[in-house]
Structures are given as structure tokens and as C-alpha cells.
Structure 1
């Protein structure tokens, strides 16, 4: 790997120091392709945000019960703020009790604990439980849906709109696969104390035991620990899933498969593909010396160049050996130089992808030379030039 300095008297090349990898991974080049029967699919790496698969990821879709993730987000948010406690209860109205579709089987005029309602929504996909929560938090389901839409915009969902809390069909209720992946990430990131509910496999309420409808929770070795399925006749069968293998997490969204079995098989195949074909690599570690840049009129002749945070990126496993790195700066760098100040950029290149840039910072302070030293350096420059 070659590092170049610009605006010197002649091009300066420096050998990259401190990087032991034969190549530095960055970006997201094309992985071995995969076919899926899902109408829409979106897979993203949780840590780096690299998009591994995007099949109509920004196309609006009827989210069905996957929209319950926004209902749960608002409930978790209320718990985190302290507005609600797990031991609080919400009242079951006639509207909630009579809501059709998948049910928790709430009883009319009863009071149900918040923690039970969480399980009723996540595990049993209860439309009735969603209405209980909506009315408990906002007074009416309509007011709650307005909160859902407002919160969606606040957390970066750009293609979502809600009119109910459960995902029952409505032409004005829509999300995108991209938004569902973003929402899943925010649920994991914002509510680590509550995320464990998504991995529970069964829940009994009103004498009726129901299993979690996420089929990948039951698949040995899948690493899946959440999140939610969805189905309506219009939407087909959908899934938002997150899986962890070898300390790496990915989020996969798919929608529009033809059956429950297709959903399970396709979802499992997409997650297997993501882990098999791609991996996360360390580009450079915080503080590691990547190069030495010449210094003009400094107390040291060179300054080490480094990065101020670990640089980690997702790349197809097959592309590792095709990556190059270059340090770019205007040198020699004039003293004084403060440690941590940006003095250039690290440019990472992988074939077929746009270059990625990260700031290069000074690894140490370099003070100015003393007055006699500066005078001597200027005289030397006048006599011998920049060489």
C-alpha cells in the first residue's frame, strides 16, 4: 500500500507502517448474488450499516403485523422514560376486545399488565393487545397512530405512515423494507433492557398457549433472536429478523413470499447467505501508526499519522485481496501540530466501488522549532531548495 503526499517539491511516497493485513477491507462490493422469491428484501449489517441486499427496499409495502414493531417501540419508549412501568395495567375497551385478526384473547373490561401486553403483541401478535396499548398510551387508537407516524419520522423512517396500531389492512398504512430494518436496529439499540422479549418462544394468556410466529427462532444454529412476522392476503408473508453469529449481527427484512414455509425457507437462506458471503474487517485501529508525514520547521522531522477511531467495514470475503489504501496530505506539514488534529485523509479503494475516506490525524504534538532552528531551516531551503 502506498501513501502519497501532495504539494511537495517532488512526490513523496511512504511505506504504510503498522498495518499487518495484506489488504484492508472497506465498502461493500458485490457479493455472490442470491435469488429470493420475496417481492422485496433488504439486508443490512448492524454495526457498519452496509447494505448487503436491496430488492425494492424503498418501495412502499403493506406491513401487516410487522407494523406492530412501531407500536412496541412507542411502548418501550414510554417505559424507558418512566411514563409507564411493567407492572402498570391498561383497561380493555369494547373496541379492543372486538378487534379481529390474530388475538391475545383479552377479556372485556379487564385490566392487563403492561408486561403481559408486550408478550401478547410480540409473541402472540395480538391485534387486540395493540389496541389496548394504543388506548392506554394515547386515549384512542387514532391518536396513537398519529404518534406512530410522528415517531417514525423522528427516528429516520422516511417511507412510513400509520393509521392503526396493529397492521390491519388500510391503504394509508405503509412502510418500506428499508424502514423496517431501520426500526429493528433502533429497537435493538435503544432498548437493550427490553429486546429479550423478541426471543421468547411461547406465551399463555386466558388459558391459551401460543407460540412465537417467528419461524427462525426455532431453527438450530440460525442465531436469530427477533423480531416479527406479518401476513395479510394483500401483503403476503413477511419477516423482520435479526441474527447474531460470531459477535456479528445482521438484520434481514423480506415481504411478499407465498406461504409460511416459503417465508421460513427464504428467510433462513438470506441470513445464511449474508453471513457466508460477507464479513466485517478492521481497516485500522484507533491510535495505530499508519504513516509518517514530514514536518516543516518542527521540533521533530516527522509526525505519525493515525485515525481517531476504529475503522470497521463490511466486505465480501472474496474481495479482501483487492483493496488498496493511500494516505493523502499536503506536505511537509507546517509546525506546530496538535495531537488529534486532522492533517489529511486515508483513501480506501476497492474495485467497482466509490472510494471511502476517513480523516487522518496527528498521533503526537509537534512544536515549532526554536527561532535559530527556523532561521537555519529557511537558509537551508534557500540554498538547497525543497530537496
Structure 2
């Protein structure tokens, strides 16, 4: 009997360990995540998280391929009806593709639509070879032009975004590219809102559901490889103000789109507050739950002189074998969504006394103490259902500059994170800080 009980105890301990391990793995940081939100008119960064961390661009690469093609159209070296030859190398690219045959041709305008709507890898190579003779040479041209645009952390090795360990970028660089595409080629930007096009009797529909579903969204690009996770660059307009946002590393297309919609909503709310004269503290979205890189890709500086590897050598496994159906399955995402679980966990309201802790929520910093107290009091009122009897603090910071910090204080750390998430959902940015 004693041996039996000892065995049961051992099994119970093992099961408890497994459950704890599962919970930790579900809530662990996402090492691929990065995001940035920019007000195009002012250039102000409304939100940034891991914005300068090295990431893989995946099919966001095709925005650079299109930028180069737009330049060729403007300088007269290409024209919209020009037929582009399809090489055997281009035809051999894996899906997503247009299934072009070697020896055939495709018109420039059809190529543009295929890159935007179908994210066609074979068409990307067709464009690369037309502009750079070889795809590897076109990659060098892309990198040089990207650096000239200010994308100093980006290296391109192919035109499609297919896996290559040396092809890297950052969320900030992808936002820069998105803005330059719009500003430098407004006459072609409308292509990025295209939701379908028909080529040789087959109609292709865009994977970019944000353009269809988010009010005011009018374009740009999605991307996915296993190494990058689900990426998207989105531009949207509300009240005559344009925001560009980039999200990289989503677990699924669905969660990526949900997160992008949330970032855009909060970005427009912050713009509205700024226009009313409110000061908004910059802070994380979802705190530090998603953003602790484990093994990031090598930096652009480390890779600039690295020996080239062909996309054909690097694109092994799943990415080389994707059929159209499997692409659509992946793009639709999964109902068991880790990002959605993290968002729900972070945003779940819990009533608390709000007392006895050593943490605070800072909602702003002002030159005027009365203004600081006004915003802190307003934040406390918005949290009345979440935190009871929360204490407002306005303290002058140390240093030469006279600044008053507006804070809600004496919180437990978990309550501080919940409070900050609730404020952000209402358009007021904040950050969680230790408070003595």
C-alpha cells in the first residue's frame, strides 16, 4: 500500500509539473513579435515595441520589389503593358505563386496585381530578373536602395521574401518603406488596396482582410514564413489623419489582424487626444508579455558582407511544399490562438482595493502640477469599476527640468498591469512603473 501511494504521489507530481510547463509555454514571450505605429503627417511614433529588433520580412519584401518596379515605370525603363519573360528559375518558385510557365510572359500591370493580391513568388522573380538580370543582383540593388531610403537595418537577398537567413529587416524599416511607397508613388498606391484580380480565367483573392474589414484601411501587405510568423503592414485614414502600422511575428493571421486593428484603434485615439492638447505617455501594448527575444536573427550589419545563399537552398520544408489549399488554411489561422489568449489574460478586469502595493500606473508628465492631477484623476475615474479607492499621486521629478508625474499608486503589480490595459483600451496610454 505504501509503495502504491508513493507511486500515485509521483504520478501526481509529474502531472502537476507537466501542467505548470504547459501554462508557462502558453504564456511565454513571443520572440518574433515587433510593432510600430506612426502618424504619417507628423512622423510621430505613437507606439513602438521591438521596432528596431532584427526580424525576417517574409512577403513584406514584395513592397520593396514593387517600389523598384514603380521607379522603373517612372524613369521610363518599363511601361505597364510591357511583357516580362518568365525564366525556368522564376517558374520553379514555390507557392504562393501564379503558376507561370517557363518561356511565357506576363505584363507589368498584371505583375503588380499578382504581387499585391496573390503575393506570387514566381512573379517576384520575373520582376527581379527584368530589373536586375539575376535575382541575386536584384537583391543587392534592393538593399542599396533601401539603405538610401533610410532602411539601414535591412538586407535583401531575394525579391519574394522566401526564407533566407541573411534577409532581415525591422518593423521601423518596414514602416519607412510603407510611407515612402505612398509618398513617392501616390499614382500607384491604389494597387495596394486591390482585393482580387483575374488572370487567364482564374480569379485570385487577396489574403489582406484588414483592407476589407478595418474601417479606413486602404492598403499595403501581408507576409508569412515559419521563421517570421505572420507579418502585416497597414495604412488607414480616420478624420483626415493617416496612420501606418507594422506588426511582425503574429501566431496566426487572425490574431495578427486582431492585434493590428487594436493598435490602429489606439493610435487614432491617441491622435485625437493629442489634437485636444492631452499629453500621452508612451508605453507598451500588452506590457512585457510578448516581447522578450530569445534567439533573434543576425543583424543587418553582421549580414551585409555574408556570403549569399540562394532562396532555393534556404526554402526547404513547409515553405517549399505549400499548396494553395494549405496557404488558405494557414491564412485563416487557428481557433486555439495563443495571442488571443494573452490579450484576454491581459485585459481581463479584476476588482481590487488598489492598496498596499509598490507599483504605479503613470499616465502622463506635465510642466504644470494641476494639469497632471487632472489627468490622473480622470484616469482614476475611468478605473472606478476595476480599482476601488485608488490613490492619485503627483510628484515632481528630480533633475533640472521641472516635470510633474501623474500616477495612480500603491498598486499590486498584477493590478497595475490590468489597470494600464484598461486605460489603453479607452485610448489613454500609460506605463507600469515601480513606485516607492
Q: TM-score, normalised by structure 1?
A: 0.64
Match of 1:231 in 2: 224
Q: What do residues 304-333 of structure 1 show as CA deviations (whole Å, max 9, x unaligned)?
A: xxxxxxxxx996499999578xxxxxxxxx
Q: Does 1:246 align with 2:219?
A: no
How many aligned residue pairs are there?
265
CA apart distance, 1:88: 1.1
Match of 2:289 in 1: none
Give secondary structure in 1 for the equivalent of 2:118. coil
Q: Does 1:203 align with 2:197?
A: yes
Match of 1:370 in 2: none
Q: Does 1:184 align with 2:184?
A: no
CA apart distance, 1:276: 1.6
Match of 1:100 in 2: 94
Q: 2:62, 2:159 within 8 Å by CA — same for their partners in 1?
A: yes
CA apart distance, 1:101: 2.4
Give secondary structure in 1 for the equivalent of 2:84. strand
Q: 2:118, 2:206 within 8 Å by CA — same for their partners in 1?
A: yes
Q: What do residues 242-265 of structure 1 show as CA deviations (whole Å, max 9, x unaligned)?
A: 101111000100011111111111
Which of the two has greater strand per residue?
1
Q: 2:219, 2:235 within 8 Å by CA — same for their partners in 1?
A: yes
Q: Distance in 2 between matches of 1:314 and 1:175?
A: 34
Q: Distance in 2 between matches of 1:317 and 1:278?
A: 12
Q: Distance in 1 between matches of 2:261 and 2:55?
A: 21
Instruction: Tell me which of 122, 132, 135 is aligned to 2:129.
Output: 135
Match of 2:166 in 1: 172
Q: Distance in 2 between matches of 1:186 and 1:118?
A: 17
Instruction: Tell me which of 127, 143, 150 is aligned to 2:144.
Output: 150
Which of the two has greater helix per residue?
2
Q: Does 1:265 align with 2:258?
A: yes
Match of 1:301 in 2: none
Give secondary structure in 1 for the equivalent of 2:71. helix
Q: 1:105, 1:206 within 8 Å by CA — same for their partners in 2?
A: no
Inter-CA distance 117–281: structure 2 relative to 1 (3 Å threshold)? same
Inter-CA distance 51–128: structure 2 relative to 1 (3 Å threshold)? same
Q: What do residues 282-318 of structure 1 show as CA deviations (whole Å, max 9, x unaligned)?
A: 79xxxxxxxxxxxxxxxxxxxxxxxxxxxxx996499
Q: Distance in 1 between matches of 2:172 and 2:59?
A: 16
Q: Distance in 1 between matches of 2:404 and 2:248?
A: 32
Match of 2:157 in 1: 163
Q: 1:106, 1:206 within 8 Å by CA — same for their partners in 2?
A: no
Q: Does 1:124 align with 2:115?
A: no
Output the aligned Cα RMSD: 2.7
Q: Distance in 1 between matches of 2:56 and 2:123?
A: 20
Q: What do residues 206-253 of structure 1 show as CA deviations (whole Å, max 9, x unaligned)?
A: 3322211212111152x1111000101111111000101111000100
Q: Distance in 1 between matches of 2:275 and 2:258?
A: 32
Q: Distance in 2 between matches of 1:320 and 1:281?
A: 12
CA apart distance, 1:99: 0.6
* Higher RCO structure, 1 or 2 (CA under 8 Å, sep 6+): 1
Gaps of 5+ in 2: 1-28, 283-362, 369-401, 406-436
Q: Distance in 2 between matches of 1:261 and 1:281?
A: 30
Match of 1:65 in 2: 59
Give secondary structure in 2 for the equivalent of 1:278. helix
Q: 1:92, 1:112 within 8 Å by CA — same for their partners in 2?
A: yes
Q: TM-score, normalised by structure 2?
A: 0.57
